[in-house]
Structure 1
């Protein structure tokens, strides 16, 4: 197989077959869950169905969006080492509009439908008799929720598209043919990345996790919750990038990328696994130590109740496993080890979102998790299909990027 810098990714028949098979599994799982829990007149059962859609759509939307955050953050830092696989991050980020539309439909259906067992604050009669929810009604309102949700998906999609278009212009040699043109390109790229980071700060790092996830437990709140969500989905997004880098390298693509680049991706996964654990511990420890009933109500069913096994298993997968496995230098350069850890991290943080959502929706019984995993596999299939299509449309290497030399000579 040729390894020229101009080649495009050609998805193998098996790749597309797996992607379509996973999407079919997701559809079957969703239909099966709807049939078994969607009975008329049973709000709790219907909440079980919609909660699964909510958990999976929000989690995978934030994961693919994390790829764009990684690209924009490294752009603002004027980094060059990631240019060798920047088309991978762009391709993953191209899933944002697709999964964003799915999540948007689900979130708006929950907001304006009669599924009040998930978002209690959408029930006007319930809010009128609940002083806590009435006090929060300025923030937890249908109009504000819908406005922020629509703006978030639109801005993420638009700014991601703009970053992609800027990157593709480097395939045109003329745009970076002179020093002035290179300076202009770097300036435009930096400005667009900065705009995205501002939007990211106002959404993922503040309002969106509060609205989409924390408001399921509308009486409870944590000022660290958004950062906790960011750390969870960012390390999962890094793992998804690493999986695609390994996959493409194993198939003879990405000639500029070597074990030095993989090592740095491994260091990011290692570091942000620890950062996530720091936020997990800080949030949990402060609430446990203060022992205030309105705060402990969130952790009691998760750490001590019927969800405790998932709660502690999630911590082991997301902290202990990456810490011990990725501690050595060689492990972060081994394709097999990186693949195993990346899959573990993606699954572990999927479990994290499962335990964020379901103890509030189904407090008396742990639902059959196989349905939720099936729906999750459907989203994995969507990511595989969209990412593969995007990778196949243009060169896998931004060969004329002003910082491409840094990617070639990168050493860590």
Structure 2
């Protein structure tokens, strides 16, 4: 019989917050759909569906980043994360749910927002006589978009499910060294498949299709890496938040300051990596000063209306992690880590907002009640479904071959 510390129970407070946030989000969705989604103004329709688009992609990618974290540490035969492994597993369990929502939104935009001779968001959908778009139709076309989207989300969900099931096998019985080795090999194989597929999608084609193709004339070879860095650092911040929450509730007894310190290292390091990509992408395009390149940055810099949001991202996502998470003590302080996790999640959500909405609405900033309302809906669903996933299995994989290594972990 599992002890209270090994088996998570969803508290009434957690249920209340998740349902309350979902209620606020549903209300915002309904009002937004009536006032914007059903509006005769095409621009208002584009704002409504664009808001749904970037929120669905952002929350899907940061949840998927949790499984990527599990898989890369599995491939490295790292054992330090085993004591809190069930946290990223529970977060990744939300991927199929958020994936289905994203599929609906993406497909509706591609097939349902065609107005005459143009699509409200994806201009490549009806290229007309645009020679630049016509040269990209081998990649930007509805059949490829549909197939690649289904394959991306389908394999993320399936391989993630396989990894979680393998993890749960360690709860059923203890393993001798030979059984443990075979189990580790099976984990390594699935983790390798997920990592390769993650690289082919999040690290390459999927951000081009879902996000960069909104600016159909523009392209950047660094865009997918930029999106990956943003997703992964936010995913690590999300893991940190749930670990801190569970520790404060008396769970995860084998997870200590050493583990939190290493999670903080990821948050710090990938904030720097994101900034490197932010600067490199901007600097190379600024240096070349080519019209087809600089068009992306015109509404976001200089006299563009989005410049405040654009540079605020740099302050939140670079300066704050750099100055606050640099020291050892800050990465071991629960309050500081929780604050920085929330700040990083908010900062990169803002970044996804400007990545999409500054391309849809180049003349004015759209950030407002609808954005925060839809975000509240996703946060509420995230809390609700992660809580359910945590309660289904023991929080500590007690028969995992690397559990002892994780317990005695020291940085």
Pairwise same-fold verdict (TM > 0.5) = yes
The equivalent of 1:171 in structure 2 is: 171
The equivalent of 2:148 in structure 1 is: 148
Aligned pairs for 1:179-258 within 5 A: 179-258=177-256
Structure with greater helix percent: 1
The equivalent of 2:28 in structure 1 is: 29
Q: Give the CA RMSD over aligned residues.
A: 1.3
**Post-superposition offset of 1:114:** 2.4
The equivalent of 1:398 in structure 2 is: 397
The equivalent of 1:132 in structure 2 is: 132
Mapped contact 1:5–1:395 kept (Cα < 8 A): no
Whole-Å separation in 2 of the counterparts to 1:368 and 1:72: 35
The equivalent of 2:343 in structure 1 is: 344
The equivalent of 1:285 in structure 2 is: 283
Measured against aligned partners, the alpha-carbon deviations of 1:55-83 in whole angstroms (never above 9, x if no partner) come to 10000000000000000000000000000
**Post-superposition offset of 1:50:** 0.3
Measured against aligned partners, the alpha-carbon deviations of 1:307-331 in whole angstroms (never above 9, x if no partner) come to 0100011110000000000011100
Mapped contact 1:204–1:226 kept (Cα < 8 A): yes
Measured against aligned partners, the alpha-carbon deviations of 1:165-188 in whole angstroms (never above 9, x if no partner) come to 0000000124x1x22111100000
Mapped contact 1:75–1:193 kept (Cα < 8 A): yes
Mapped contact 2:37–2:49 kept (Cα < 8 A): no
1:119 aligns with 2:117: no
Measured against aligned partners, the alpha-carbon deviations of 1:270-301 in whole angstroms (never above 9, x if no partner) come to 00000000000000011111111110100111
Q: With the length of structure 1 as denominator, give the TM-score of the two structures.
A: 0.97
- Structure 2: which 5+ residue stretches go unaligned? none
Mapped contact 1:38–1:49 kept (Cα < 8 A): yes
The equivalent of 2:323 in structure 1 is: 324
The equivalent of 2:374 in structure 1 is: 375
SS in structure 1 of the partner of residue 81 of structure 2: helix
SS in structure 1 of the partner of residue 7 of structure 2: coil
The equivalent of 1:261 in structure 2 is: 259
Measured against aligned partners, the alpha-carbon deviations of 1:3-51 in whole angstroms (never above 9, x if no partner) come to 9587211011010110011111111111111222134532211111100
**Does the C-alpha gap of structure 1 residues 40 and 6 become closer, same or farther in structure 2, counting only changes over 3 Å?**
closer
Whole-Å separation in 2 of the counterparts to 1:45 and 1:248: 41
Mapped contact 2:90–2:390 kept (Cα < 8 A): yes
Measured against aligned partners, the alpha-carbon deviations of 1:388-412 in whole angstroms (never above 9, x if no partner) come to 0000011000110000111110001
Aligned residues: 406
